[in-house]
Amino acid sequence: MEPKRKNNIINTIEVTQPDEWVFDANNEIPRPYIKKDRKPRKKNPLFSVIFWILLVFISFLAGYFLFYYLPAHNNSTSLKDEKNDIQVSEKPIISQQTESESPKQVNTITTPVPQAKQLPQNDEEALKKASEIKKQEAIRLEREAKERERQKKEAQARLQKNRREQLLKKKDDDAFRKAIAANSIYSFQKYIDTFPNGYHIDEVKNRRDQLVNSTQLENRIRDDVQFETASGSNTIAAYEEYLKSFPYGIHAAESKNRIASLKQKILKETKDKLEITSIRFFAAGARTIPPDQRKFSSRFPLDSTSYIYTELKFKNKLFRVDDASIAITIEYAAKNGSFKQQLKGVIQTGSDTKDGMYSRGVGWAEPGKWPLGKYTVSVYFDNILAVQSGFELF
């Protein structure tokens, strides 16, 4: 019988299989179980995430147990069994006889015992053998530990050696690049002195030799030209300039001989070692004043003058020739004969002194004690008059 259909409901019911039909208690008319449509529940993603995390964790534990724990446990138990086997004596069963059987009929059952696990019958010998085995095992372990330590030290030493070599090679390469960039004999020689066994030593030596060979000819030409120039001027300064440029040049010895000859000639011909270029006078106190504060004059007021100084500027005629020590005398004399005073000293000049200055003064601590009139100042070098001048007090 077909189920009763209601208007506008036939599309919203589901008909189950025939075995799921139910009967009405009153009419006993079978009718299908009507299942109303329901909205599907939304799945929570958190439960899925927790489920997969638990699944991964359980899989990890199972893998750890199967592939790591069980093999390790089996190995440890097997080692303990082997150690225990050494101390346990296995007595083989030679024969077994039943009461029903006659003495002639004997069933013999033998259990094979490994040769390595057989111990002597005497317990003391077994203990000695076991202790000997333990000693040998301890010695073996100690040797293995020492060998591992030795290998570890060798590996560390090799690592340190490689690091040192890498650092040295880096420095070597940097120095080589600098030498190539400079491209001079000095730069190549510096690399050779710093890295005598460097990675680029052969190439650097070849480059240096090439530069030396190419520059020798140029240096020879420059040497000859500068020496000819010095010979043309024939002065000490010219020859010294040549020696400064070519201290070990081809004409170095000849230049030194010519310098010595010129010096001897100048010493013989020069009577006055110093040539005075100027003589001036200035007033000051008992102590002189710096050159930039001096006020020079030839007439000084009596009421404000205490000391009168003479300043000499001179030129050294033995410049680059020889050192000189000259006795100097400065004489102050009034023309009316009322005053006369001499100041003596020594001027020392070196061969490197080209120009110089010398000053001395005479007077009183208080002003106004100078005699009025004109004065003559005479300068003597080695008791020979060099220059003469004068001033006036009014």
Task: Please check whether residue 282 is in contact with residue 309, taking contact to mean a CB–CB distance below 8 angstroms.
Answer: yes
DSSP 3-state helix, strand, coil percentages of the chain (rounded to 5)? 50, 20, 30
Distance, CA of 93 to CA of 179 (rounded, Å): 92
| pLDDT at 90 exceeding the cut of 50 | no
Nearest in space to 356 (alpha carbons), one of 292, 311, 296, 301? 311
Across the chain, what does the average pLDDT equal? 78
| Domain range summary for the chain, segments of one domain joined by + | 1-37, 123-180, 200-269, 272-393
| pLDDT at 14 exceeding the cut of 80 | no
What pLDDT digit, counting tens, does each position of 147-192 carry? 999 999 999 999 998 988 888 888 888 888 888 888 887 888 888 8
On the 0-12 / 13-18 / 19+ scale of CB atoms within 10 A, 203 is middle
Q: Which segment of 43-47, 140-144, 348-352 scores lowest on mean pLDDT?
A: 43-47
Q: What pLDDT does residue 320 have?
A: 79
* Over residues 308-326, mean pLDDT: 88
**Percent above pLDDT 70 for the chain:** 76
Q: Report CA dihedral (134, 136, 139, 140) to the nearest 10 degrees.
A: -110
Compare 28 and 136 and report the one with higher pLDDT: 136
* CATH number corresponding to 272-393: 2.60.40.10
Q: What pLDDT does residue 7 have?
A: 47
* Over residues 214-219, mean pLDDT: 72
| pLDDT at 5 exceeding the cut of 60 | no
What pLDDT digit, counting tens, does each position of 22-67 carry? 444 554 555 554 544 555 555 667 878 888 888 888 888 888 777 7
| pLDDT at 214 exceeding the cut of 80 | no
* Over residues 203-208, mean pLDDT: 86
* Over residues 258-274, mean pLDDT: 83
* Over residues 139-149, mean pLDDT: 91
- List Cα–Cα distances, 330 to 45, 360, 386, in angstroms: 119, 8, 10
- The helix (run of H) or strand (run of E) holding residue 180 is helix 123-182
